[in-house]
Amino acid sequence: MYNVKRCFFLVIAMAGCLAVRAQESTFRKVSFEDLSDFRPQAGNWQVVGDVTINPAADIHEAHDKPAAPETKKKSKRSKDEAAPAKPQVVSFQPGKGILLNLNDETKKDNLVSAFEHGDIELEFEVMLPRGSNSGVYFQGRYEMQLFDSWGVKDPKFSDIGGIYRNWETEQGKIYMGKAPLSNPAKAPGLWQKFKVSFRAPRFNAAGQKIANARFVSVELNGVLIHDNVEVPLPTGGPIENNEKPMGPLLIQGDHGPVAIRNMSYRLMKEVNFSLSNITYNTYYGNFKTISDFASLKPAVTGSIPQLTCEVLTNENAYGVSYKADLNVPQDGTYQFQLAHTGGGRLIINNQQLTDLQRPDAYADQWVTITLKAGKVPVEIYNYKDASWMPPRLGLTVKSATTYPQALHAFNSLPPDDEPVSPIYLDATSEPRLLRAFLDFKGDRAQRLTHTIGVADPSGTHYVYDMKSGNLVCVWHGSFVDATPMWHDRGDGSFRPRGATQYLFNNQPLAFLASQTEPFPVILKEDLVKANEHRGKGFELEPSTHRPIFKYTYEGLDVEDKIYPDDQNRVITHEVNIKNRGTKTGLYYKLGEGRTIAQMPDGSYAIDDKQYYIKVTTGQPVVRDVNGKKELIVAVDSAVKYSVIW
């Protein structure tokens, strides 16, 4: 049943794609064309076009060193001796699109939004220098920390993404904060992405709080770091030390530089739909279409208080129809999901929204309809002739600004109906290797079939593509989820479990006729030809048990060594070439992306500051090829560089 259900789910999910996109489009983008979406402030906040942060500079060291105390034997400073240089941590270009805070002793205001919110879903990207500190306060009262936490192994409430504590001392008013579940933080000067779902505290008609504020979910760089965390009191430094149904967003501006871009939100609310006057008819037989049973005399008829498939007496070879009144609380455009095993049809307000006529299907399609407030008729048809699938039926409603609401009984469509214990694989005291397929950037269409994942005891892992001789992705934390590969029949793939930094796909080493010629592309169906890239497996380094990958290319023998470096925060890649010969034009591609920029510390920020490449050997060149930037280096006998993220 697992495979059948999965196949049909993929088909139906594609059919519902447009409705989902329509919902996502209701996010309102905060304007960083100017500061009109915010209240006036002292001037430490400004709108700029681009920001560059020196990855090597700490904000706490970005000042002149204090002069040595004078002594009786004081000597004159040489006229040629200059004062210590003041390192520049943050530089920027004029323009629009990025919000930048540069505070000092006289200008250090928090930034407060002009709008107020209750329930909200918020997305934004943030960039922090080394040692910097800020925070986003939801409703101006509940702080989610923004902090340079790169490389922190055991994050605390004060690390990036943590829910901050307060500083109350009176019993009953103390809140100690909540640390993130893990630390997927990137290095200073890189853009990091947050997705937050926040629910405001609830109050009754008398103004008494009846439910605490909650961070329903927080994702940092694609990793869930908070799951349904209640915050019973305001955290430290709120705009007001009280709780209300509504309040503004507040971004802390007095602790250090911070840049923010691509901020968008949607205000959410709860709307109560209901079904009433529910009646049903049941039929039994091997039906292939709805018309096979819809005009027959029903086996049983009746009325029920909740929509449920538990009116059936048989678990297979059945048909059932329902009629009900849908109570719509207010005018609006809504999405409905009819989830069911077997075939099904949904009709609302005399409009047929779904019609899947197949007795062994599974469907959970979202469809859209505009409705007026009041009662509208609903008809549902469901039938099944597939003994391996249990009876299941559920109807759910949501909109762009309302949460999903189930209109069926719990047992009619239980959540996590086919629970599967995840099969996780982690590093041991020695490196661990796992051959599997990898969907590059999570895209099944870009599946790589000759990859090997390497789990390092340091907690810094990577995937290597042996077909192209390429380092394709890196991450910190837990190793992989092997459930897709090993559960049931499996599909041969695994998934990295951390905040995965994908690099690029395809062959990185090649002889090029010129510095502008594209690198060769190895397609999935390509067969390796004589003198082209040919993988030769790997051997384990005796001292570390880390793999050394080997391949041949155009008569060259190549060895790849990949290992964690710099307190296990980066990956260093050494490429050693034997049998070099005299043929010219050998190049190695280090990175590619929309943009590549050299940083003040000599590293290169790749793909709009998603990760850094720091080169140890050779003089890299940035070039334009096929609409992308590439960082390449001419090769003699070795290449050595580090990936920093």
pLDDT at 419: 78
Residues 142 and 237 in one domain: yes
Token pair for residue 476? 């910190």
To 5 degrees, how large is the angle CA 369–CA 276–CA 296? Answer: 85
Arithmetic mean of pLDDT, 246-258 = 96
Q: What is the mean pLDDT of the chain?
A: 91
Residues 387 and 444 in one domain: no
pLDDT at 14 over 90: no
pLDDT at 11: 36
Q: In sequence order, what are the residues at sequence separation of 6 or more whose Cβ sits closer than 8 angstroms to the Cβ of residue 345?
A: 290, 352, 354, 355, 356, 357, 379, 380, 381
The candidate with the shortest Cα–Cα distance to 120, out of 54, 28, 25, is 28
CA dist., res. 456 & res. 426, Å (int): 9
The candidate with the shortest Cα–Cα distance to 290, out of 322, 313, 312, 314, is 322
Residues 287 and 245 in one domain: no
pLDDT at 40 over 60: yes
Task: Out of 268, 289, 322, pick the residue that ends a domain.
Answer: 268
Residues 256 and 276 in one domain: no
Residue 619, classed as helix, strand or coil, is coil
State in Å, rounded, how far the first CA of the chain is from the last one.
41
Length of the chain: 645
Q: What is the pLDDT of residues 228-240, one digit of tens each?
A: 999 999 999 999 9
Residues 310 and 360 in one domain: yes
Residues 323 and 463 in one domain: no
Higher-confidence position of 158 and 71: 158
Q: Do 125 and 77 meet the contact criterion of CB atoms below 8 Å apart?
A: no
Q: What is the pLDDT of residues 595-624, one digit of tens each?
A: 999 999 999 999 999 999 999 999 999 999
Task: Decide if 70 is inside a domain.
Answer: no
pLDDT at 526: 54
Residues 372 and 246 in one domain: no
Q: Which amino acid is at 544?
A: T
Q: Which amino acid is at 258?
A: V
Task: Out of 412, 446, 466, pick the residue that ends a domain.
Answer: 412
pLDDT at 71: 44
Q: In sequence order, what are the residues at sequence separation of 6 or more whose Cβ sits closer than 8 angstroms to the Cβ of residue 522?
A: 467, 468, 506, 507, 533
CA dist., res. 273 & res. 404, Å (int): 10
The domain that holds 340 is classified in CATH as: 2.60.120.380
Arithmetic mean of pLDDT, 185-200 = 98
Residue 169, classed as helix, strand or coil, is coil
The candidate with the shortest Cα–Cα distance to 367, out of 8, 9, 13, is 13
Beta-strand runs (E) in 168-235: 192-199, 202-203, 209-211, 213-220, 223-231
pLDDT at 25 over 80: no
pLDDT-based confidence at 9, cuts 50/70/90? Answer: very low
% the chain with pLDDT above 90: 86
Task: Decide if 72 is inside a domain.
Answer: no
Burial class (CB in 10 A: 0-12, 13-18, 19+), 320: buried
pLDDT at 86: 61
Token pair for residue 605? 């920020």
Task: Decide if 66 is inside a domain.
Answer: no
Q: What are phi and psi of 549, to 5 degrees?
A: -80, 145
The candidate with the shortest Cα–Cα distance to 588, out of 473, 469, 472, 474, is 469
Task: Decide if 452 is inside a domain.
Answer: yes
Residues 565 and 450 in one domain: yes
CB atoms inside a 10 Å sphere around CB 32 = 20
To 5 degrees, how large is the angle CA 203–CA 207–CA 212? Answer: 30
DSSP string, 275-327: EEEEEEEEEES--SSTHHHHTSPPSEEEEESSB-STT-S-SSSEEEEEEEEEE
Task: Decide if 166 is inside a domain.
Answer: yes
pLDDT at 171 over 80: yes
CA dist., res. 116 & res. 249, Å (int): 7
Radius of gyration of the chain (CA): 30
pLDDT at 21 over 80: no
**How many angstroms from the chain centroid is the CA of residue 196?**
11
Tally of domains in the chain: 3
Q: Using H for helix, E for strand and C for coil, what is the string for 403-416?
A: EEEECECHHHCCCC
Which domain covers residue 230, as residue numbers?
A: 31-60+89-268
Residue 583, classed as helix, strand or coil, is coil
pTM for the predicted model, two decimal places: 0.87
Residues 610 and 628 in one domain: yes
The candidate with the shortest Cα–Cα distance to 42, out of 133, 90, 103, is 103
Q: Using H for helix, E for strand and C for coil, what is the string for 217-232?
A: EEEECCEEEEEEEEEC
Higher-confidence position of 522 and 544: 544
Token pair for residue 359? 């007795």
Task: Decide if 83 is inside a domain.
Answer: no
Arithmetic mean of pLDDT, 189-204 = 98
The domain that holds 557 is classified in CATH as: 2.70.98
Token pair for residue 554? 């155009």
Task: Out of 412, 444, 473, pick the residue that ends a domain.
Answer: 412
C-alpha distances out from residue 641 to 431, 453, 501, Å? 21, 20, 16
Arithmetic mean of pLDDT, 440-457 = 96
pLDDT at 269 over 60: yes
pLDDT at 74 over 80: no
Residues 275 and 262 in one domain: no
Q: Which amino acid is at 308?
A: T
Task: Decide if 441 is inside a domain.
Answer: yes
The domain that holds 111 is classified in CATH as: 2.60.120.560
Task: Decide if 51 is inside a domain.
Answer: yes
Q: In sequence order, what are the residues at sequence separation of 6 or more whose Cβ sits closer than 8 angstroms to the Cβ of residue 251?
A: 99, 101, 110, 111, 134, 135, 136, 137, 258, 260
pLDDT at 418: 73
Token pair for residue 516? 């502008």
Residues 405 and 456 in one domain: no
Q: What is the pLDDT of residues 278-336, one digit of tens each?
A: 999 999 999 999 999 999 999 999 999 999 999 999 999 999 999 999 999 999 999 99
pLDDT at 108 over 90: yes
Residue 446, classed as helix, strand or coil, is helix
CA dist., res. 395 & res. 14, Å (int): 19
Query: Phi-psi category of 28—alpha, beta or left, where left has phi over 0 and alpha has psi -120 to 50?
Result: beta
C-alpha distances out from residue 637 to 353, 394, 511, Å? 64, 64, 13
pLDDT at 506: 92
Q: What is the pLDDT of residues 555-593, one digit of tens each?
A: 999 999 999 999 999 999 999 999 998 999 999 999 999
CA dist., res. 441 & res. 439, Å (int): 6
Residues 159 and 300 in one domain: no
